[in-house]
Each structure stands twice: as structure tokens, then as C-alpha cells.
Amino acid sequence: MISALTFAPVLAALLILLLPERWARRLALGGALASLVITGCLLGQFNPSGGLQFVEKAAWIPALHVDYFVGLDGTNALVLLLATILAPLAVLASPAQMPRSYYLLLSLQFTGLFGAFTALNFFHWFIFWEMALVPAFFLIKLFGHGEDRHRAALSFFLFTVLGSVAMLLGFLFLSNGGQESFDFIALADKAKSGALQPGGWVFIAVLAGLCVKVPLVPLHLWQAPAYAAAPVPVTMLLTGVMSKMGVYGFLRIIVPIFPQELRAHAETLMVLALVTILWGAFLALRQTQLKRLLAFSSLNHVAFCVFGVGVLGIATNAGTVDVQRLATQGIILQMFAHGITAAGLFYMAGLLEQRAGKDGLNDFGGLSAATPRLAIAFYLLAMGSLGLPFLAGFAAEFLIFASAFAVAPTLTVVATLGLLATAVFLLTALQRLFTGPTPEHVKFMPDLSLEESLLLVPVLALVFWVGLIPGRWLAFSAN
Amino acid sequence: MSTEKLALIPLLPLLAAVLTCGMRCGRRAAAVAIGAMSLSLAIALVMLANAWAHGGVQTVSLADWLVVGAAKIQFSLLLDPLSACMAAMVTFVGLLIFIYSSGYMKDDPRCARFFCYLSLFAAGMLGLVLANNLLLLFMSWEIVGVASYLLIGFWFHKPAAAAAGKKAFIVTRIGDMGFLIGILLAFTQAGTLELFDNGNGLLEKIPTGVVWGIGAAKLISLFLFCGAIGKSGQLPLHVWLPDAMEGPTPVSALIHAATMVAAGVFLVARTFPLFVEGQTLPLVAWVGGLTAFVAALIALGQYDIKRILAYSTVSQLGLMMVGLGTAATGAVGMFHLFTHAFFKALLFLGAGSIIHGCHEEQDIRRMGGIARAMPITTAAYLCGALALVAFPFTSGYFSKDAVLISAYGADRNLFYLCALTSLITALYVTRQCVYVFIGTHRGAQAPHESPPVLTAPLVILAAFALGLGGLAGNSLLAKLGAKHSEHPFAVIATSWAVALGGMLLGWVIYARRDLGRTTDPLALSALANKFYFDELYAATVGRLWTALTWLVVMLQELLAGVCELGVQLTQATGQFFARSVDVRLIDELTMDGLARRFHKGGEVATGFQTGLLSGYLRWIALGALAVGVFVHWLWK
């Protein structure tokens, strides 16, 4: 089943090549929806305390100990759901007149993302990881906005490829040149029993690969240009899903396979995450372009997840609260909440840009009067993003903060400065876009159309659902 | 009615908020919101009777919100005299303000949205006062904050309103971050955030751990107090409250006088055992005392009728903090909170009625002579003013006396500060009333009395402003757990003297003055400019913040430069390989070059192939000769 959901978009891609161009959009949507439906069915039967489920395992390259090995457990269930929810939304968010090649690349990217979240063997996990990257590069370069897109695509590609190469070398070293298993689960078991001593350099190589994807300062430089230049649906995927690949990598690889190295460097990692949190927040304060502002806001939000990973490294002496569990659950929920919220915000930034032809914060004003429905949706998502209780982000941030405070109170106190700055830049953006007198050129800007509203309804519903009943979503990662 | 129904008190306004958010008709939305609020009030009154009879703490668990391992965050509510009184006060004052709003906002095209926000606010506020879980309290607290943000910026087309909403949100959020840290501390130290839980709650089993070398209770109470400072507009975070007056007047009455700003005071009273255990009460008292004094002084220098009341609110909130900080229980501070809620809501609604009657004029220099034009409003307003001054036997007199007595017993310096504050209070109230009500009208258009929908709530509130303290004061104090205390003669004498003396002084200064034309002797520039707090913050915190942002931007630019260099280098390397190596060396020199040479060779060879027999023979002969010479040379 997992293979079916992973490769459904590839099937769609093949059909897009074969069938007439006017069907391309529907085929891409069909592939993505098929994946979503299968994921929904799987999660419906998912047993949170059942460990690894829906496993498919087959020998692939026995000489190298490489198996095709996929499965779902508490760590990847929710992120897979996030990816499969955002995939059809990304297709729907695409402008209608996009050519065949666009939908082809998009579908291939879906498979890369789904595969990276379900693979349990490094070998094909890495193939999927790269597979998500290459279409993104072409999508930015061929279909992006502005002259900057070539450079943005190039720097995106360079950063991620260099990170990937580092990670690949690390794993080659770890598997002793293919003599040992590449299997994540087997590696984790070995690490637990102490039979695996990867050493600091391997850890740093793998870490670098993941930090580029998340990203963490100073490996984040590709992010803002890429998010701003990419077509909006691709940005939705980049921030909503691809940044989560990095965080997921931390949970799947760093935490179980490198426990000692993580413990040794946990505080460094937390400081790095903290710097990223503040870095993103303070840079967002200075942006005049909505999409760049949202990009730095994402930098800030996703870094909270890595902050939590640092907590997992330190938390050995649990006091009154179960720090490990709080942090793990918080990270996973934060990925989900941020993915949904950020994708929705970028989508609306795209709508504004599409309508006005520009996306400077100062190019608008008084939009509450001109486009009231869009204003409501934007306010709700912005509030969700700044961590308003009863909306998606709050529960996750509380869990991460609670666990972090138990092990590193001082760093956590500094991190609240990030929450404050988030409020400042988001409210400033709201103020500039939606309040004040309405200038002439936006006075007759169309409000959300029915289609656009329909796309935002599931996003808003999820934001409320996760905020009001986080327990339902936390249940997936309960063990 | 069982305590299970407690949840309906916040849920009914929430339902109203959901129902009204999509409505277009303002009147229908008002009806829904008022109906929900009336039901909430009815339930709250039943609960009040229940709490009065029971006396202790009753808790209700509604649902688990978050369960992670052993950690559990519940939606749970609690009923005790404190929460019951607060719920009854909020629903009652809220209902009156809702009714008033239905008249005040009836011509606004977004009236339905206004009631949606108001209902959302009421839901949050009621959740806040009834919460038995510190996190639920915080969550409601944030909802209240966001509703306040939306309501202050309700007229979003006014840039000042939008800016004021943002300022309110951000300044209170500074305090909220402290609150959050306090919650995290409590959670990690106690493992629970339930306030009362059969002896295991946070307030029943005070955490005893040590963090950063300081006792947990002390730290938790200090951080919680940060939240209270932000929400209740205490020094140094009071700067948002006067700006919040940009919102519609009913909002000022509901949120920035009666309920939300009192949330900070309520928080201290709710978590009082932590403050007692942590010995942080003197700090609470002194922050309150200084705030009360400074804000009262600033109120003297203001000309905007609502801003005077705003600073007065800050000042009175400070007195409530004094009441909390100097007593052994939260009763005294809370008593002043209750009486203040009624008379300050009355004053704000009265101000709204005056502003309405004066054709949206807010500057007291362009008022005057209102008493004759608006008799009902004037009479009601004066009742509120007397209560604010603590004129003997009004409700404000009883509650402020309680604060003064408590301060007298705890710290004599604080008592003097409070007495001085009371004197200034009487002075600025008299100044405002003389400006507004006496003499001839100085505005452009003649003022007119407001319709009954506006004045009826005023009359009801006026009755409470006069009577509440005397009639219900003692039982309220007793139920809230006040220890019986002596009434020292010195305190009573001081109290009478400052109230009457202040009024007399104000009368002497202002009654015979040609107001509005001559300069005001007390509106010194330092006071009119609010002691330059905003400017001070802009110059210090604002600068620091900007510098920090600038630093990060510079570092980012630097890194981006390095990265750019890398990209350029890659591009250059790529181009080097593409142009020099690939095109020149491999293509031109090696591959194409060889091919070309072969081609050339072929062309040359083609030249020989003429098809003429004589030519071929010539070449054969030459070839044979060459072979002969070569063989000869070899053999030699």
C-alpha cells in the first residue's frame, strides 16, 4: 500500500506524458489525491501502539545489504499525512495554464517527498530525497518569478546537493562501504546496544545534510530567494513539506542512530536552533516583500523543531515531566501545524501577487475593506502562525517549550523572544496589508473566488481542528 | 443547577460569536449576542448563589485537551466565591455594555462583526475567570488579548486605531511571555497546571524546587506578575492602555475599564498562595502604588475625555495591586476591582454618551455646559465620578478605604503614596467635570441628550456605583476571605480629607477660570506628554531592537555575500569547463579538431583523384621513384 501511494504520482506523470496536455492538471491532481486517499485509509487502520506497520520489505541489492523497506510508525505517520494533504492543494493552487512539463515535475516531486517519508533504508531513502530536490530545481528555474530565479535555483541546488553529498559520504562510512546494513531500524538497534560507534565526523556530515534542508543558520541562505522565486505551489511544498524532510531526518536518523553524538552536541544544536529562531524573526522584521517575510517566518518556526531535537539529546534525567515524550510529540505536531499554516499563508501571498502584480508590503493597504474574505483567512492563519491558543501552532509550541524548559531553562527564556518578534512582524504585516485607507488600485481587487475559498477551507479547518483537539493528532505519535 | 453547567457561561457567548461572524444584519447580531449574554448572566447568578452557599472550591473537568504520557492538560473549570463574583460581574457589566453598544454602533455597517468580536471577548474573559487550569487561563487570556486587538482596531481604516491595536497586542505580549515562562516553570516544577485538584493542585501543593538559585514559588509568582503587569497596564507596560482608547467607546468601557484590564489583578488574586509563599507581595504593592501615583499625575495633564479615564483606570488598577500586595488575602484588591468595574464602566459609557451628544467631540476644551443639555447622562456620570473620588458612602469609598487600611497596616510609605494618589484623583476628576459640565458650551454644534438605549445602562450602573459598596461590601469581603481589620481613625480622616480636599482644590482652581481659552495651570507639559514614556521606550528599547535587527541584517548580508561568491565561483568554474575545457580543449582541439583535420586531409586527397590517367601515371612514376630511392637508402 505504501508503495502504491508513493508511486501513484509517478503513474500520473507517465500518463501526463502520454495523454493530451489539457488533461495534465487533472492527472496530477488524480495522482496526488490517490496518494491522499491511500494515506487516509492507512492512517484509519493505524495503531499508535503497534510500532512499525504496513511494512513492505524486499531484497534489492543483496551484495550491498540494500533492501526496499518501507513502513509507517509514530514518527512518520503525521508528516506523511501532511505531505499527502499538501500535494493535491499544491496542484489546485497552480495556475490553470501551466504546461505539461510543470505537472510532470510536480508529480515527480510528490513521489520524492512521499518516498522520503516512508523509506526505512538509507539507500532508497536517499534516492527519494534527491528525487524531491531535482524537480524543485527545475520548477524554480523554469516556472519561477523574476529574473532572480536562475540564481535562486542554482544556490538552492548547490546547497542541497552539497548537503546531500556530505550525508551520503557519512552513510557510506557508517555502513563500512556497503558491508553493513543501510537499514535505519537495524542501525538504530545497533546504536542502542552500543555496537555502532559512528564518530563525530560522520555525525557532522549527516547533520550538515539535514541542516541544509531544515534549514539552520548559516546554511539557510538558499531559502529566502528560493521561496520568493519559486512558483507559489512549489513554495507551499518547499516550506510545508520539504523543510519537514530535514526535521524528520533528525527524528529518524540523528536521534536513534547517533544518540551519543547528539548528547555530546545537544546544547550546540539548541544554540544553533535558537540563533536560527531569532535570526529568522529579526530578518522577517526588516522585509518589505511578503513572501520573503513569510520565508524568514518559516525559518523561525521550523527551527523550533530542531530546538526540540536538542532537548531530546539532553533529556536523560527526566524530572517531574516526561521530557522525551513531550519533545517528540511537540516536534511532530509542530511540523504538521507549521506545514499547514505556512502553506496557506504562502498561497494567499501568491493570490495577492497574482492580483496586484506585486507583493511588496507597502503596495497594499486597507484590504480588509476591499477583500474581506481574504482578510479573515489571512488573519486566522497569521494568528495561527504566531501561536494563538486554540489554533494549530499553540499546542505544539507549548509542548516544545515545556520540554525545553525542563532541561535548558535559560535558552528557553531567550527563545520566547522569538515568539515576541514573531508577533511583531506578523502584526506589522497585517497592519500594512489590511488596515488603513484603501488605495485606489486595490479598491476593486477581487475577493477570494469560490475555488480559492474551497482550497483554503481544508487549511483553515485543519488549523482549527489541530488547535482545538490536538489529542487526535498527537495520538499518531503517542509511542 | 449543578456545577456541570458552569461551562455554559463562556460557551454561550462563544456560540454567539460563531453565529454572528457570518451575519450581515447588525440588529440580529446584537439580538443574538445580547440573548447569549443574558443566559450567561442568569447561569452566572445561579452559580454565584451556589458558590455563596458552598463557600469553598468546586471543580469541574470538561475534557482532556492534551495528554502526553503522564502530563495532562485539562479543560477544567472551578467555582468559588472569587470566580463566581467575577463571572457575575463580567456577565452583568458585559450585558449592559452589549445593550449600550446596540444603540451606539447601530449605524456602523460592520455592526454584526462588532458583536462577533464582543462575544468572542466575553467568551475569553469568562473562560479566564472560571479556568481551573493555568494553561486554560493563559489560553483564554490570549483570546481576550486578540479580541481586544481586533476591537481596538475595529475602525481599521483609521491608521491610529490599527497602530493602537498592534501596540496593545505587542506590549501585553511582552508581559505574556513572562506569564508563559511562569507556566513552564510551574509545569516543570509541579508536573501539573491544575490550580485545585483534590489537594494536588498547583495552589494546594506549592512547588518547592529551586531554579536559577531561587525558590520556585518566588520565580513563578514573579513571572506570573509580568503577565499581570502587561494586561493590567502597570508600570512599565502601561503605555498601551491610553492608546487603546482609539477603539469604539463601548470597547473602552468593557475591555479597558471593567474586565480585561482587571484580568491581571484577578490573576494575582487567583494565584495568591504562590505570591504568599514566594514573598513577592511587597513588590506587587509597590509596583501598584507607583503606577497609581504616576498615572494619576498624567491624568491631570490630559484633555481627551477618554484618555483621562484611561489613565484613571491605570491608576485605580495600581490601587488594586496595592490592595492585593498589602493584605493577607486577595479580598481587598478584588473588592476594589468589583466596585471599580461598575463605576468605571459607567464613566466610560457616560463619556461615550457625551461624545455622541457632542457630535464625536472628545476634547474637553471644546465641551462645557453639558449638564443642562444632557441631564440624565450628567447625573449618572457624576455618580460615577463621586465613586471614583471615593466620596463618603459611595461604593468607591468603601473599597478604597479597604485598600488604604490595608496599606496603612503594611507599609506606611505606601499608605502616604496612596493617599496622595487619592488627592490627585479627586483633583483630576473635579477638573474633568468642571470642564465638561459647567459653564457654556464651547463646541461648534449644540449637544443633545442620548436615546434611552444609551442612558438606561447608565442609570443601572449608577445605582451600583453608589450602592454596591455599602450594601454588599462586607459580605463580599467576608466571602472572599478578608480578615477582619481595625478601622484606624487616621485612615478614615485621611480618606475623607483627600476626597473632599481634592474636590475643593479642583473647584477653586477651575470653577472661575475661562476654560478652553486660558492655559491650564496643572496640565504641565511633562504631564500632557505622559512623562515621555513612549519617547523613552523609543529611544532605548526601540533603538536596541532596531540595532539588533540591523545587526542580524548585516550578518545575513555578509553571509549572503559569501554565498554569492560561492555561487559565482561555481558558475565561473562551470563556465571555465564549459568554454575552455569543453568547447576549446575537448571540442575544438581534440574531437572537432581531429575530425576537421581528417576532413581536410580528405579534401587534399580528393584533389589528387582527378580521374585523368596521365596524372595517375605521373604519381605512380613518382611513387615508384620514391620507393626506389627509399629502398636504396635502406640497403646502403
DSSP B438-496: SS---SSS---PPPHHHHHHHHHHHHHHHHHHHHHHHHHHHHTTPPP----HHHHHHHH
> Got the DSSP string for A117-172?
HHB-BHHHHHHHHHHHHHHHHHHHHHH-SSTTHHHHHHHHHHHHHHHHHHHHHHHH
Tens-place pLDDT, residues A19-72: 888 888 899 999 999 999 999 999 889 888 888 888 888 888 888 778 888 888
* Interface contact B211, partner A, CB < 8 A: yes
| A390 vs B contacts (CB less than 8 Å) | 139, 143
* Residue among B288, B302, B158 nearest B242 (CA): B302
Of A155, A279, A435, the CB nearest to B563: A155
Name chain B contacts of A218, Cβ cutoff 8 Å. Answer: 559
What is the amino acid identity at position A64?
L
Residue A191 corresponds to which cell in the numbers above? 546504536
ipTM of the assembly?
A: 0.91
Residues in chain B within 8 Å Cβ distance of A322? 68-71
Q: Which residues of A touch B156 (CB under 8 A)?
A: 366, 368-369, 434-436
- Is A416 within 8 Å of chain B by CB? yes
> Is there a contact between A405 and B181 if contact means CB atoms under 8 Å apart?
yes
> B11 — contact with chain A (CB < 8 Å)?
no
- b/e code A176-195 from CB counts within 10 Å (16+ = b): eeeeebbbbbbbbebbeeee
Q: Return the residue in B20, B23, B66, B222 with the most chain A beta carbons within 10 A, the one to mutate for interface testing.
A: B66
A158, A405, A471: residue with CB nearest B188 = A405
Q: Cell for B544?
A: 536596541
Provide the CB-side half-sphere exposure for B496 (13 A, CA): 7
Q: Is the pTM of this model over 0.80?
A: yes
Verify whether the Cβ–Cβ distance A326 to B556 is below 8 Å.
no
Decide if B138 touches A, using CB distance below 8 A.
Answer: yes
Residue A361 forms contact with B (CB below 8 Å): no
Integer angstrom CA distances of residue B143 from A391, B63, B127, B162, B336: 11, 19, 9, 18, 25
**CB atoms B191 and A321 under 8 Å:** yes
Report the pLDDT value the prediction gives residue A319, as an integer from 0 to 100. 57
Residue A209 has pLDDT above 80, yes or no: yes
CA distance A119 to B10: 47
pLDDT surpassing 80 at residue A275? yes
CA-nearest residue to A476 within chain B is B68
Nearest by CB to residue B68, choosing from A326, A431, A434, is A326
- A437 vs B: CB within 8 A: yes
Chain A residues touching B570 at Cβ < 8 A = 154, 158
What is the rounded average pLDDT of the residues A231-251? 91
Which one of B71, B153, B567 has the shortest CB-CB distance to A322?
B71
Whether A389 sits inside 8 A of B142 (CB atoms) is: yes
Which of A221, A320, A471 comes nearest B188 by C-beta?
A320
Percent of chain A with pLDDT over 90: 35
Rounded Cα distance between A128 and A303, Å, is 23
Q: Which of A326, A369, A390 is the closest to B157 by Cβ?
A: A369
Partners of B140 on chain A (C-beta within 8 Å) are 389
Give the position of cell 493597504: A365
Split chain B (636 residues) into runs of 10 and give each run's mean pLDDT: 82 91 83 92 92 86 84 88 91 90 85 90 93 92 92 88 90 92 90 85 83 86 92 88 86 84 91 89 91 90 88 92 86 88 90 85 81 85 89 86 87 89 91 84 80 86 83 77 77 85 84 72 73 81 86 87 84 83 78 84 81 83 91 86
Which chain B residue is nearest to residue A402, measuring alpha carbons?
Answer: B184
A378 close contact with B: CB closer than 8 A:
no
DSSP letter for A179, please.
T
Query: What residues have CB less than 8 Å from A437, skipping those under 6 apart?
Result: A365, A366, B157, B159
Is residue A185 within 8 Å of residue A125, measured between CB atoms? no
**Integer Cα distance of A374 and A359 in angstroms:** 15
Closest residue on chain B to A382 (Cα): B146
Give the mean model confidence (pLDDT) for residues A354-364. 82
Question: What is the distance between the alpha carbons of residues B223 and B274, in angstroms, rounded to a whole number?
Answer: 11
Q: Which residue in B has a C-alpha nearest to residue A326's C-alpha? A: B68
Q: Which residue of B has its CA nearest to A365?
A: B157
| A26 to chain B, closest Cα gap in Å | 33
- Between chain A and chain B, how many beta carbons pairs sit less than 8 Å apart? 140
Rounded Cα distance between A294 and A342, Å, is: 8
Chain B contacts of A154, Cβ < 8 Å?
567, 570-571
Tell whether A435 lies on the interface with B, counting CB pairs under 8 A: yes
Asked if A175 and A140 count as a contact pair (C-beta separation under 8 A), the reply is: no
Contact B156 A369 (CB under 8 A): yes
Q: How far is B549 from chain A (nearest CA, A)?
A: 5
The alpha carbon torsion through A446, A447, A453, A455 (nearest 10 deg) reads 50
B326, B411 in Cβ contact below 8 A? yes
Interface of B with A in 528-567 (CB under 8 A): 548-549, 552-553, 555-556, 559-560, 563, 566-567
3 state SS of B497: helix
Residue B1's pLDDT is what? 58
Tell me the shortest Cα–Cα distance from A108 to chain B, in angstroms.
26
A443: its cell numbers? 479598491
B68, B136, B146, B226: best to mutate for the A interface, most A CBs within 10 A: B68
Interface membership of B428 toward A (CB under 8 Å):
no
Contacts of B420 (CB under 8 A, 6+ apart): B293, B498
Nearest CB partner across the interface for B181, out of A282, A413, A437: A413
How distant is the Cα of A218 from the closest Cα of chain B, in angstroms? 8
- Inter-chain contact B191–A436, Cβ cutoff 8 Å? no
Distance, CA of A376 to CA of A372 (rounded, Å): 6
pLDDT score recorded for residue A49 = 83
| Partner-chain residue, chosen from A155, A401, A419, that has the shortest CB–CB distance to B567 | A155
Q: Give yes or no for a contact between B499 and B390, defined as CB atoms under 8 angstroms apart.
A: yes
Give the residue from B403, B393, B413 showing the smallest Cα distance to B487. Answer: B403
The identity of residue B434, as a single letter, is V
Q: For residue A416, which amino acid is it?
A: T
Mutate which of A307, A413, A425 to disrupt the B interface (most B C-beta within 10 Å)?
A413
Output Rg (C-alpha) for chain B, integer angstroms: 38
Q: Do A320 and B162 touch (CB under 8 A)?
A: no
Asked if residues A246 and A213 have their Cβ atoms less than 8 Å apart, the reply is yes
State whether residue B191 sits within 8 Å of chain A by CB.
yes
d(CA B25, CA B109): 9
Chain B residues closer than 8 Å to A427 by CB: 149, 166, 169-170
Distance from CA of A231 to the nearest CA of B (A): 22
The two most distant CA atoms of chain B are separated, in Å, by 149
Residue in B149, B157, B553 closest to A436 by CB: B157
- Range 316-335 of A in CB contact (< 8 A) with B: 319-322, 325-326, 329
Q: CB-side exposure of B438: number of CA atoms within 13 Å?
A: 15
Contacts of B146 in chain A (CB under 8 A): 383, 388
Q: How many CB atoms lie within 10 A of CB B513?
A: 16
Say what the pLDDT of residue A84 is: 94
Chain A residues within an 8 Å CB radius of B157: 366, 369, 435-438
Q: Summarize the confidence of residues A82-97 as an average pLDDT.
A: 91
Mean per-residue pLDDT over chain A, rounded: 88
